[in-house]
Structure 1
Amino acid sequence: MRGFLLAVWIGSVFFATSAGAVNRTESAVKKRNVAAADTSVVASAQQQAPAGRSGAAADSRPVPPETLSVLSEETGVTSGAVPVVTKELSVSKPDSMQGKTHAPADSMEMAVDSMSGDSTVKKGFFHRFYNYFKSANVDKTLTKKFDFSIIGGPHYSSDIKLGLGLVAAGLYRVDRKDLSIPPSNISLFGDITTTGFWLLGVRGNTLFKGAKYRLDFTTYFFSFPSAFWGIGYDKGMYGTPGSYKRMQSQVKVDFFFRLVPKFYLGPSVSFNYIKGKDFSDISLLNGENTQYTNTSIGVILMYDSRDVIYNASRGIYARLDQRFYPSFFGNKGAFTQTELIFDAYHKLWKGAVMAYDFYAQLGTGSVPWTMLARLGGSYRMRGYYEGRYRDRQMVEVQAELRQHIYNRHGVAVWVGAGNVFPTFGEFNPAHTLPNYGVGYRWEFKNKVNVRFDYGFGKGENSFLFSINEAF
């Protein structure tokens, strides 16, 4: 966030300085004529102004406004007029004229130029910059086919260290006449960090006319110098991590048909290619391959009554995702994965939303190490290194209080817990890992939050920057 604000400040100084230089150049050209004109105008004003009446009505014409193109295309706002400079110079009281016109004409004009050039352009830029973000917070999908915005900033986490992320977010409506359906969204996201991690991806969802159909999609590519502790709770808790580079590509598409209001059923397909290389301790793989290609087909049953998909304040989201990875799809060994999600949202008091999340990933069969459930990350068990604890089965729960503070600003606090285990018969409550944290929210666009979270786990913690709420 500090890096983002610094960039804004540098940009404002650049534009203000450039605009000020332009105004000073123009003033030098005008100065010869204005200096002579002011003397005659003052004398004329003293002779013509009626007693007890200001001459402003006769000659209070504003200086023509300068314009800047910065952000004007997005906001539709150009620079405001330079402050009004009237020629009568306090002629409403002729007796006071002598006390206000002793300054030489050149110095008077330079003062006017300085005011109308540097100061006003600086104020004008920040005013336009403010208007840009103010307008970005308005739902424009009713008047625009595509409401597009970009935001970027620095971030830090324990696994990928210091990085710079960029998100280009867009909101749109298939049917702009139906206000009962939330806007659809799409995000192009990229990231690069000091560890050599890079990421590029696209995700989004589209709600079709009447919400009879829905399309969710995600695709990404990344390279990640990572740590690997091995498989199971004990390896993650007591083991010594090795290093390797994880390269992954994923494409996932879900299409839903509405059965009855709020209930959806549909097919899902996914493709994952994961390759590990440069292992410092290959024995941690227990003889498994270093790379796998996995393709699945599945079915999803979903109930969704959320008011806003990506930032809900009320409603329920429940999802059962059953995936099959048969060997005839090119998988090394056949296996299945079941994913369960249950989220609930309700308002507590003014500006407060309580959100609950239950998540389970259950695998059976020959699940490769690349497809095991991994605890931690940016959405659940925030604060844990993603993948330190991994196994066939995982369950997680969390509760988060989100409080709006003022204007676009808000905060969040959460608590949670998670557990990884190979089978239900080997579930050990003593292996449950705690989680808690605090975060800041800034509403970048209407109902689209940028979040800064700091999560704490057992023996580790991390800072996270992301777009949209965690769940």
Structure 2
Amino acid sequence: MHKVLIILLVVCNYGILNAQKPTTENDTTKIEKKNFIKSVIEYFEKSNEVNNDKRFDFSIIGGPHYSSDTKFGIGMVASGLYRMDRTDLSISPSNVSLYGDITTTGAFVVGISGNTLFPKLNYRIDADMYFSYRPTRFWGVGYEAGRQDHYSEYDNLVMELKFDFLKKMATNTYLGFTTNVKNVRGKGFDDISLLGSEKAKTTAVGAGLILSYDSRDFIPNPYKGIYAKAEQIFYPKFIGSSYNYYTTELVFRHYRQVWEGGILAFDLQGVLNWGNVAWNMMADTGSSRQMRGYYRGRYRDKNLIQSQIELRQHVYRRSGAVIWAGAGNVFPKFSEFEWSHTLPTFGIGYRWEFKKRVNVRLDYGIGKSESAFYFNINEAF
């Protein structure tokens, strides 16, 4: 069964994976097809083997997916593991993930993210950058706007780069700075009146501080540990932002083994914006990591609090499954927070160990009157 799944996932990667001896002109098509399938299976059967002799352990996989908003698409993800100090195996390896996706609606995204851990964990660099184009929808700002059936379709182009540099201050404790540059452009609105006096194109250039505690044993797929972060970013107009505002992000995550092969993961996040926040820079629900099952951006406002708990269970060989439940709430300010506006999310997912402790994940999330599929790499949180 798992061999059939592997073939379906990687059939689009022939040029990369068919690294074998060249055939002669007399080889038959039947033999070529047999060799291709065999090479694919052998490649992925060995892809999760630990090889500390490699300076950079890199693998790639791709496959089809479907979601209610982007329809059918083809995604490709790649994962690389490396060590700044190859003699110290007590520290988890650094990681980098590259991803790309294109769908039948014309939407596409390309990006790269990763965590570089320096010797003795004295420093670390976290980076995430991507460019995307997506035909999407805008309901307006606030919970009540998202509840309505009326929305405007438009094309959304996003370019974002986030870079964190952290220095170890004590055991598992880091202090550092962060920079974030984001450019969002909306065009082709069906109903531009939903924007009111807002600009369709917005730029945010910001810098700030991060204080974090991180005892996770492996960042892409923790089995145990705690991750907590307090981040403050300022986006002033004098360095290029369209508006003056600032963002506070608070995160708490906890991981523990509950039985053999079972990991219970908890996530709590708050995103709080202050000042003059553009409509396309507000906190919103719906992504492949949090509030899975919701159309991205349907519910948006200045502030967002969201939480989820997920059970991750190893099933057989390289296969696993997850179930999760969570909730989120968008609101303009704390004095206007309404418990009745809380949105639920729950779902199930399949995991396949692509590399050692690096999973390809297929998730089906269910929200309030909507749902979505996701194809991605690494755990959601």
Q: Determine if the TM-score, normalized by the shorter chain, exceeds 0.5.
A: yes
Matched, 1:431 2:341: yes
Equivalent residue, structure 2, for 1:133: 44
1:228 Cα offset (Å): 0.5
The one of 165, 170, 191 aligned to 1:255: 165
Map residues 39-50 of structure 1 onto 2, 5 A cutoff.
none
Relative to the length of structure 1, the TM-score reads 0.75
Relative to the length of structure 2, the TM-score reads 0.93
- CA deviation string 1:28-59 (max 9, x = no partner): xxxxxxxxxxxxxxxxxxxxxxxxxxxxxxxx
1:330 Cα offset (Å): 2.1
1:195 Cα offset (Å): 0.8
Between the aligned residues of both structures, percent identity stands at 49
- CA distance in structure 2 between the aligned counterparts of 1:276 and 1:118, rounded to whole angstroms: 49
Which has the larger share of helix?
1
The one of 103, 115, 121 aligned to 1:205: 115
Map residues 53-452 of structure 1 onto 2, 5 A cutoff.
70-71=18-19, 128-140=39-51, 142-452=52-362
The one of 1, 4, 7 aligned to 1:5: 7
Q: 1:326 to 1:339 in 2, by over 3 A?
A: same
Q: Structure 2 unaligned segments of length 5 or more: list them.
A: 23-27
Equivalent residue, structure 2, for 1:467: 377
- CA deviation string 1:380-408 (max 9, x = no partner): 11000010000000000100000000100
| Paired residues of 1:456 and 1:462 also in contact (CA < 8 A) | yes
- CA distance in structure 1 between the aligned counterparts of 2:13 and 2:101, rounded to whole angstroms: 22
| Paired residues of 1:3 and 1:154 also in contact (CA < 8 A) | no
- CA deviation string 1:396-422 (max 9, x = no partner): 010000000010000000000000000
- CA distance in structure 2 between the aligned counterparts of 1:326 and 1:446, rounded to whole angstroms: 43
| Paired residues of 2:13 and 2:62 also in contact (CA < 8 A) | no
1:151 Cα offset (Å): 0.5
- CA distance in structure 2 between the aligned counterparts of 1:9 and 1:304, rounded to whole angstroms: 38
| Paired residues of 1:440 and 1:452 also in contact (CA < 8 A) | yes
| Paired residues of 1:3 and 1:153 also in contact (CA < 8 A) | no
- CA deviation string 1:237-281 (max 9, x = no partner): 124111111111111110000001210110111111111110111
Q: Which amino acid aligns with 1:294?
A: A
Q: 1:241 to 1:143 in 2, by over 3 A?
A: same
- CA distance in structure 2 between the aligned counterparts of 1:204 and 1:10, rounded to whole angstroms: 24
Q: 1:434 to 1:7 in 2, by over 3 A?
A: closer
Higher RCO (C-alpha under 8 Å, 6+ residues apart):
2
Q: 1:11 to 1:295 in 2, by over 3 A?
A: closer
- CA distance in structure 1 between the aligned counterparts of 2:126 and 2:133, rounded to whole angstroms: 24
Q: Structure 1 unaligned segments of length 5 or more: list them.
A: 13-68, 79-116
Q: Which amino acid aligns with 2:279?
A: W
Paired positions, count: 375
CA-based RMSD of the aligned residues comes to 2.6
1:138 Cα offset (Å): 1.2
Q: Which amino acid aligns with 1:462?
A: A
Larger Rg over CA atoms: 1
- CA distance in structure 1 between the aligned counterparts of 2:12 and 2:92, rounded to whole angstroms: 37
Q: 1:10 to 1:451 in 2, by over 3 A?
A: closer
Q: Which amino acid aligns with 2:46?
A: S
1:132 Cα offset (Å): 1.7
Q: 1:374 to 1:127 in 2, by over 3 A?
A: same
- CA distance in structure 2 between the aligned counterparts of 1:370 and 1:237, rounded to whole angstroms: 18
- CA distance in structure 1 between the aligned counterparts of 2:79 and 2:13, rounded to whole angstroms: 22
1:10 Cα offset (Å): 9.6
- CA distance in structure 2 between the aligned counterparts of 1:394 and 1:430, rounded to whole angstroms: 14
| Paired residues of 1:4 and 1:154 also in contact (CA < 8 A) | no
- CA distance in structure 1 between the aligned counterparts of 2:119 and 2:208, rounded to whole angstroms: 25
